[in-house]
Structure 1
Amino acid sequence: MKTTFIKIKIFLITTCLISTIWSCKAQTNIVNIIERCDSHPLNRDNGSLYLKDINNLYAPYLGTWKWTEGNREFTLTLLKQTKYHYNQGIDNYYEDRIVGYYTYKENGVELINTSNDNLIDSYNIKVDYRFNCRSKLSGLIKDIAKNKRYLSWFEIISPTQIRFKGKEEEDGRIQKEGMPPPPVVYVGNSFPLDMVLTKQ
């Protein structure tokens, strides 16, 4: 009888221990978004890593921003995506990120409008930002009229103004892996790569 009791006790302890280990393994490993470069691999085996905007650092950038000069007008809308699942190649993780869309007009004529973008599709998205290793909001913006990608970043000037700066990516043509080369890149850029935008 005593042997049976000990076996049952060992079985229960083992079951509890295994359950605890499994529940810990299934939990999300939450990392502050600004610590993304502190040795946190993005290719976790089960997508348990979550780069979270714990301190709500994205908040000052969200909303609609506008730049005008003479007959030109650039309007940018930035939105926060919470716990977006990035699963491409060997990378499998979740993150809070900023996405959005923009319009560009000259003489009142709309030349670019990306407001119909599918903001869930990582490849086709035209506006995609996150905090980099130096705690600056940086990312990519695509100039669909010129078929180019620009590395860009933001600097907060005041609660109602941000500075947008960009530079053309080396061989910054928009091309999907496995697809034929994109058309020839057009000279120049559609919109300025240094603008001060005002919150609307």
Structure 2
Amino acid sequence: MARSRHDEGSGKEARKYVPTAESVRRGQRLEQWLKEHEFEASEFSREANISKMSISLYLQGKLDVANMRQRTVEKLLGAMHVSDSWAWTFFDIPEARRKEWRTFRDAPMGHGEEAPQQVVTFLLDASLSGEGYALPEGTTLTLDPLSLTRGLLVCRLPGRYVLARPDAVPAQGEVLGQLVKVAPAAHE
């Protein structure tokens, strides 16, 4: 957790943030994500509706991503187009923080409703895109193969995968199931 301290100066208290190893690591992960998705911090700030100063402090580890308020988590993950569970893994959010560090988006991206009972895990052997999402090869998906009429569906096409709503499934695509959860690709 990034700590703050107050400095005495000319009668005003200046707030300084002291990074911790964990907050710096999470800031580096956010910076890595921004670079991989070709975002400038200021552009991402506008997209997420999070102040430039806050984004800068998160990137430096002076504010800890793991200590974001729930509303800020909603903005961050919405702009990143990633699921809560993916972000928990990517940012190494401690288990104890996950009750508050989540969104209220509908499943599978958030925790607005319970996940289906019967699920399978699936490792992408090619990239997946669609509905504003882009996932690289090697990403692990959790799918509900029995739910084919609601949510976002994963469809296999030659050499790639597509994420689509039930009314927009490509005619030539093989529907694998409803997306329940996304885990990040393993880093080497």
Q: Note whether the superposition's TM-score is higher than 0.5.
A: no
Q: Which has the larger radius of gyration?
A: 1
When normalised by structure 2's length, the TM-score is: 0.28
Of Structure 1 and Structure 2, which has the larger fraction of its residues in helix? 2
With normalisation by structure 1, the TM-score equals 0.27
